Amino acid sequence: MNRVHCLVFLLIVLNSLQAQETAFSLPLDLEEGEELIQLQADILSYAALTVINRNDPDNKQYFVRFENGKTGPWLEVKYLQAALDSSGFLYTAKNEQGWFAVEGDKKYGPYFEVPKLRSGKSAFCCLYLAKENENSNQLLYNRDKVIGGAAGI
């Protein structure tokens, strides 16, 4: 190989080594008996949906884990997703009080049910359908504000 080829080869090797050094990993730190169900990631972080006692309906517990902590235990969790505006993660979760739409560290609810949840951009970051009780109509919410649907029974 001539000197130019050797120099190019060395630059490629150095670049690949440098790229390997800048890669990082994020620990999940699962507890004994905790299983990973779903993993979502954005450019900076991750959210992991986990369950303990998966096959025991009376003692099943769901958690949403993040790099710096977790939420739960929940009776059920659905629709875990990264926010489109890179502001964190969204999901719906149920506890003894009812269903909640969760956006980062904010909870909206409780509701009788939250059958849909979507992330949007700018002014519509956390869109979801929810029913306040068994007999109410579904309303469309943006965070805690009703933006559509028919109120009442």
User: Does position 114 have pLDDT exceeding 60, yes or no?
Assistant: yes
Given a cut of 60, whether residue 13 has pLDDT beyond it is no
- The label of the residue with tokens 């080829």 reads 5
Q: What percent of the chain has pLDDT over 70?
A: 79
Spatial separation of the C-alpha atoms in residues 42 and 69, rounded to whole Å: 16
Q: Which whole-number Å values give the CA distances from 37 to 17, 64, 77, 102, in the listed order?
A: 33, 10, 11, 18
Q: Please give the backbone phi and psi of residue 22, each rounded to the nearest 5 degrees, phi first.
A: -85, -10
- What pLDDT shows up at residue 33? 86
Other CB atoms within a 10 A radius of the CB of residue 119 amount to 20
**Six-digit token string for 76:** 């059920």
Enter the tokens of residue 102: 């969760």
Cα 138 to chain centroid, rounded: 23
Do 46 and 67 touch, CB atoms closer than 8 A?
yes
The pLDDT, as a whole number, for residue 88 is 85
Q: Residue 7's pLDDT band (boundaries 50, 70, 90)?
A: very low
Q: Which residue has the higher pLDDT, 2 or 126?
A: 126
SS3 (DSSP) at 145: strand
Average pLDDT over residues 104-126: 89
28-58: pLDDT as tens digits: 778 888 999 999 988 888 999 999 998 998 9
pTM for the complete prediction?
0.77
pLDDT exceeds 90 at position 60: yes
10 has pLDDT over 70 = no
Tens of pLDDT, residue by residue over 66-98, are 988 899 999 999 999 998 876 789 999 999 999
